[in-house]
Chain A
Amino acid sequence: MTDSYWSLLLPLLRGLIVTIELAGIILLVGTVCGVVGGVLSALGGITLRILFGSIIFVVRGIPLLVQVFIVFYLLPFMGLTLSAFVTAIIALSVFASATIMEIVRGGIEAVPHGQTEAAMAVGFSRGQSMYVVVLPQAMMSILPPLITQFVFLVKATSIISLLGVPEIMLSGREVIERTLLGFEVMTMIWLLYTAICYPLTMLGRHLEAVLSARGFQAVKN
């Protein structure tokens, strides 16, 4: 009995590693691009705003699954032959960057304008005002939706199974086809996703607690 459960679990654990790799890269790329994009669109002029605004408009209007397939078919069309893994990363990173950009921009704009003015008045450059004064305060309002988005993105990697990337979901489906133990395997899959997402949520709570202990408060006045 234990042996058979192990034979179910082992492919899933291999899938788990792929999922973690995928999610790790997507969260990293999404966060970096999202923060840079969010700061630029909060600081920048009308051109940047329109550019980023239209990216977000497009990304929001398409179901994630459809986006993934658009990228999947678009890349070869443009003459790029990439592995399914890389295609998946590109597709989900675009989505992650756009959504995180909105979260960051919203957080920045929630910081009262007086903070920027006071920063400029003591002689900070616009960049300094942003990273010394505004961004740290925006953190408190960025963090909760950001963590929610992280958790969503981790789970959204399951879509990638449809491209043939052997992450948890695809590995699981293969095990089910072999063993017909649908419910057992799906339960394992569920628990494995939870094993990634729960610590992520806890990390978010912890960070919030650390920040508020250091005087970072949710934006007021």
Chain B
Amino acid sequence: MADAELMVRVDGVGKSFGTHKVLDGVSLEVPKGSVCIIIGPSGSGKSTLLRCINFLEPYQAGSIAIEDELVGYSQIDRKRKLRPRREITRMRGETGMVFQQFNLFAHMTALENVAIAPIKVKGVERKQARDDAERLLVKVGLAERMSAYPGFLSGGEQQRVAIARALAMAPKVLLLDEITSALDPERVGEVLEVIRTLADEGMTMLVVTHEMGFAHDIADQVVFMDEGQVIERGAVDILDDPKTSRLKGFLGKLEIDE
């Protein structure tokens, strides 16, 4: 089923570590230019799902496709066959990922962090890549911090550099894995602001988050996961009016925590 409007299609994806099923028949679809928010308790498989989408983790059942191109495997019926490493690498370059722990390259300045991938992966000319990187850093509000090393940046600043680094590859889709969970509370806003702007610009995103207010604001679609399964999936109003008792329970627990 080809659908020109679809960016990401996850179809019956399963993955286990030993006997523990981390993902158990997960399916979802993310149309181009839309924001899909994934929520759920810790250990529910949200992060693993994101990591499967750029094949940082292999999956063992089902399929994931980005713009109808299968992720990781060239064949999934009968026997699974891995795609050549070169193609897996290329698809990763077309998918931006931002991590909870930032993972900025510690030996490079903010600018170099953003410019390096276009230079090394796409063969963009150095000068051009630096200009582009400057533009992206201005966009995330770090015009003043371009020559700083990650060790000298606050968590919020590091995370904004990480977003710029992902954007520098002009990805088809951005995967955001609890990008504010490691931040001081007063630093969360500045990062979410950047993501809001991206959503307004029509960037396709899959966002794992615990920030419900934020989820409310930018979600086109909400997916609730628990124990490796999609329990409930729908428009943003499922947050206000959950159909399943598990989502109801999860949201209730969040309110008590806040």
Contact = CB atoms under 8 A, between A and B. Distances in A.
B90 interface: yes
Given A121-B56, A124-B121, A136 B107 contact: yes
A115 B120 contact: no
B106 A121 contact: no
A121 B92 contact: yes
Contacts of A114: 99, 101, 103
Contacts of B105: 115, 118-119, 133, 137
Interface string B74-110: 0000000000011001101111110101011111110
B54 interface: yes
A115 to B, nearest CB: 6
A216 interface: yes
A124 B89 contact: yes
B107 A118 contact: no
B108 A125 contact: no
Interface string A204-221: 000000000011110111
Given A132-B116, A132-B120, A215-B149, A121 B109 contact: no
B46 interface: no
Interface string B116-132: 11001100000000000
Contacts of B165: 118, 122
Contacts of A132: 116, 120
A215 B56 contact: no
B38 interface: no
Nearest to B166: A122
**Max chain A C-beta neighbours (<10 A), residue from B96, B97, B120, B168:** B120
Nearest to A218: B106
A120 interface: yes
Nearest to B149: A215
B120 A118 contact: no
B82 to A, nearest CB: 14
Contact of A123 (B85, B90, B101, B151): B90
B257 to A, nearest CB: 27
Contacts of B162: 118
B174 to A, nearest CB: 11
B93 A117 contact: no
Given A123-B89, A132-B116, A217-B151, A118 B108 contact: no
Contacts of B151: 215, 217, 220
B169 interface: yes
A81 interface: no
B99 A118 contact: yes
Given A117-B56, A132-B116, A215-B108, A123 B103 contact: no
A132 B165 CA distance: 15
Contacts of A119: 105
A119 B99 CA distance: 12
Contact of B117 (A124, A137, A214, A221): A124
B106 A115 contact: yes
Interface in A13-39: none
Contacts of A115: 103, 105-106
A120 B101 contact: no
Contacts of B56: 117, 120-121
A55 B104 CA distance: 36
Nearest to B101: A114
Interface string A114-150: 1101111111111010001100110000000000000
Contacts of B104: 118
Given A114-B101, A217-B151, A123 B107 contact: no
Interface in A66-88: none
Contacts of B85: 125-126
Contact of B99 (A117, A124, A125, A214): A117
Given A125-B85, A128-B120, A215-B109, A117 B92 contact: no
Given A119-B105, A122-B168, 6 more contacts: A115-B103, A123-B121, A124-B117, A137-B105, A215-B108, A220-B151
11 contacts: A115-B106, A117-B103, A118-B99, A118-B104, A118-B105, A120-B89, A121-B97, A123-B169, A137-B106, A215-B151, A217-B106
Interface of B: 54, 56, 85-86, 89-90, 92-97, 99, 101, 103-109, 116-117, 120-121, 149, 151, 162, 165-166, 168-169
Interface of A: 112, 114-115, 117-126, 128, 132-133, 136-137, 214-217, 219-221
